[in-house]
Amino acid sequence: MKSQKVNFDEARRIYTEQRFANNNIGPDGQPRDPKFISFS
């Protein structure tokens, strides 16, 4: 993240969003799988 010149918190947000995208999870934390069912 040094190449992007961002602070730690911003770098953590970017990293987390990239990990979510790689695992088919939306930026809000909700799975993008249309068949996903959650019981709470």
The rounded percent of the chain whose pLDDT value lies above 90 is 48
Residue 2 has pLDDT above 80, yes or no: no
Specify the pTM.
Answer: 0.64
pLDDT at 39: 87
Residue 1 has pLDDT above 70, yes or no: no
Report the b/e string of 11-36 with b at 16+ CB within 10 A.
Answer: eeeeeeeeebeeeebeeeeeeeeeee
pLDDT at 6: 92
Residue 8 has pLDDT above 70, yes or no: yes
Q: What is the DSSP letter of 35?
A: T
